[in-house]
Amino acid sequence: MEEVDLTPEEQAAVLQAGRQAKAIRQKNDAYWQRILNPGANWSPSDLGSWILAESKRKDAQNLNPRYVGPKGFILDEYSQAVFDLLCMYFTNHPDFEKAGQYYDQFREGRFSLEKGIMMVGPTGIGKTALLFLFCDNPRQSFTVSPCKLAVDSYEGAETSQHGKSIYDRFTLKSDVYGGRFRAGQGGRAFDDLGNETIPAVLFNKKRNLMLDILERRYEIGSEDAGITHLTTNLTTQQIEDLYGKRIRSRMREMFNLIKFDPKTPDRRE
């Protein structure tokens, strides 16, 4: 093929056209990356900014699943560290496992991205609100299930088979519809452990249902059950008294324990 000599102007025009074509390709690639993997490359600050922006939308009360009411989560000096930590966790950021280096509040914690989240603290400080704020996330979206509702649904079952289906539903991955990250299936968060009826009764048969659910999810593993999260007002001794030493030990393997600052005020007062 005969070589064609280009003038400097023509060479500049070809180079400019090549740059424009490359920019278009990169833009298209980025677009399809967002479509096919909407959680890719989100940083903790990205997630935090998005959540706060979503929660402030004027139509939040009617349209936004993160809206939890005027007395819900409040970001202040007491909750900022927990909020930042969850932003790290739900973007799968390695700094989550080093949180003790950055926050005195978590200095004694041993955090792992392989575990779920367990938030512990008194009533009214925003634990439930935080679950709803982070239920749609880049790592693995999840469904929030109050422990009391799970047990009440089981006790209200019309047949033993119906009760088994309710139990099974809470031990496997949850269906997560819609949302920014379009998860399809995801994990499950159990809210307010200890507030449910113990034992649960179905046709005169008694069982500690949340104990059974947590043990089965532990045995199945997060690959099939999804990641498990938990909130509770109970102390470790109360957990052992209600659910036994075995599950207390397994909880250490299942959860990153996040304790709120004991000075955190009750938002409901």
The string of DSSP codes covering 154-209 is HHT-SSHHHHHHHHHHHHSPEEE-STTTT-EEEEEEEEEETSS-SSEEETTEEE-H
**At residue 113, does pLDDT exceed 90?**
yes
Question: Which pLDDT value is given to residue 65?
Answer: 46
Tell which wins on pLDDT, 102 or 193. Answer: 193
What is the pTM (predicted TM-score) of this model? 0.80
Taking only the tens place, the pLDDT of each residue in 33-58 is 444 455 568 999 999 998 888 777 66
Region for residue 98 given its phi and psi (left: phi exceeds 0; alpha: psi -120 to 50; beta: otherwise): alpha
**Tokens 């999810």 belong to residue:** 217
What's the whole-number mean pLDDT along residues 249-263? 88
Most confident of 87-91, 107-111, 124-128: 87-91
Tokens of 218: 């532990």
What's the whole-number mean pLDDT along residues 178-185? 76
Distances 187 to 40, 88, 136, 142 between C-alpha atoms, Å: 18, 17, 11, 4
Most confident of 10-19, 53-62, 119-128: 119-128
Taking only the tens place, the pLDDT of each residue in 195-208 is 999 999 998 999 99
Tell which wins on pLDDT, 71 or 131. Answer: 131
Question: Which pLDDT value is given to residue 51?
Answer: 87
The topology under which CATH files domain 41-259 is Rossmann fold (3.40.50)
Q: Where are the domains of the chain?
A: 41-259
